[in-house]
Chains A and B, each alone.
Chain A
Amino acid sequence: MKRCDVNRCHVKKKTGWFIVGGLLVALLLAGFVSNFASADPDGLDSAALEGCTVDDGGNITGGTCIAQGGKDHELLDSPLADYGLRGIDNAFLSTGLSGVLGVLLTFGIGGGIFWLARRGKHAAPSADENADVAENVEPSVHAESR
């Protein structure tokens, strides 16, 4: 760890633990706390309903409003549609599991994109003769690109 300064280092153990801790917080929020979220329409959906009358089931019964233009989502039969896991009847479990899957998928896809972007950066100096050792002597490669 002592060979790493603030900007020039691969994921240190400490940062690794920070990531793990952050993921646990996210999993707790999406997997458990999400069940206590408000089910009311959000600011945009609520503005979209302005001018219409709505029954208890949320269906528009009259008037003129933005929401009348709304269409069903194309992927409404996706196994995770509307933050529930299809096949799980328990609503609490269904929401929580969909949240856990969403956090892991987002971390995987997001992390993958950033990893690829970083690889692109590493590939840039590979035109010179240091290319072969770039993988092993990463700090020096980083120093060049800075």
Chain B
Amino acid sequence: MHIPDGFINASTSLGAGAVAAGGLGVSLRRTAQTLEDKQAPLAGLVAAYIFAVQMLNFPVAAGTSGHLLGAVLAAVLVGPWAGVICVAVVLLVQGLLFADGGLTALGLNITNMALIGTAAGYLMVVLLLRVLPRTNTGLAVTAFVAALVGVLAASMGFVAEFALGGAVDLGNSISILAGTMAGTHLFIGIGEGLITAVTVLAVARTRPDLVYALRKLPAKTPAKLVVPAGGVT
């Protein structure tokens, strides 16, 4: 979902750059305040893993592919603030070294994939972990749905940016663009959801203590679900 140079005009790109810089600044400060010691190398690993999986484009329709964005994956594993930094680092490496994602579009891409993807996706994580049971299935469903929502929200970020400052005049077909983007990114989101669920489950089964969302979002009503003295667990 990397926007190249030239799709969006300079003023909108600049505006998104300011949004991205502000979001990264807040995220860095919150990360410095809340990051736990053992999470630091893990967060680096999450960024590296996202870089790797972003290379793995999977086909979603005739002539169209998609790849993981990783915002929800990172947010579940290391928290939303460090997660934003993880995705932004990946986008920086890709833009500065791999010629992937325009340099003038870096603010747009960070806004969409790191900020919007994390905000929308992590909101879903918080909501779903409150209502779903604290089981592997509950965690997998949470990861899947949140990742799907995160991708759709990020894709709508591009639609909004194009509506604000698209460089090519498409007439009044913003709604058509929105429909196309939502349609393909629904399928990309399913792929994102599957990869996110599988990865989160793999970590949760080997090292549940490393999953930020499980530590920081305690089950809302544990007393109702767990019989205190019972052996039914």
Contact = CB atoms under 8 A, between A and B. Distances in A.
A73 B7 contact: no
Contacts of A30: 51-52, 55
A73 B206 contact: no
B86 A83 contact: no
B41 A111 contact: yes
- Give the size range of A's interface with the partner: 35 or more
A29 interface: yes
A42 B177 contact: no
Contact of A29 (B6, B41, B56, B162): B56
Contacts of B58: 37-38
Contacts of A98: 98
Given A109-B93, A111-B43, A111-B44, A42 B207 contact: no
B14 interface: no
Which size bracket describes the interface of B in this complex?
Answer: 35 or more
Give the residue among B39, B97, B162 with the most A Cβ atoms within 10 A: B97
B37 A114 contact: no
A65 interface: yes
Given A40-B65, A69-B167, A75-B99, A47 B37 contact: no
B105 to A, nearest CB: 10
Contact of A42 (B28, B32, B64, B102): B64
Interface string A102-146: 111111111111110110110000000000000000100010000
Interface string B188-199: 100000000000
Nearest to A43: B184
A34 interface: yes
Contacts, number: 244
Contact of B66 (A43, A107, A115): A43
A105 B155 CA distance: 27
Given A7-B36, A102-B97, A105-B93, A37 B56 contact: yes
24 contacts: A11-B41, A14-B207, A26-B53, A30-B52, A33-B56, A41-B64, A43-B60, A43-B65, A44-B3, A47-B184, A64-B170, A75-B96, A78-B99, A80-B97, A102-B98, A110-B43, A110-B85, A110-B86, A113-B85, A114-B39, A114-B44, A118-B32, A118-B40, A121-B32
Interface of A: 6-12, 14-16, 18-19, 22-23, 25-27, 29-30, 33-34, 37-44, 46-48, 50-51, 64-76, 78, 80-83, 98-99, 102-115, 117-118, 120-121, 138, 142
Given A10-B38, A71-B6, A74-B102, 8 more contacts: A15-B42, A18-B42, A18-B206, A23-B45, A41-B63, A70-B4, A114-B82, A115-B44
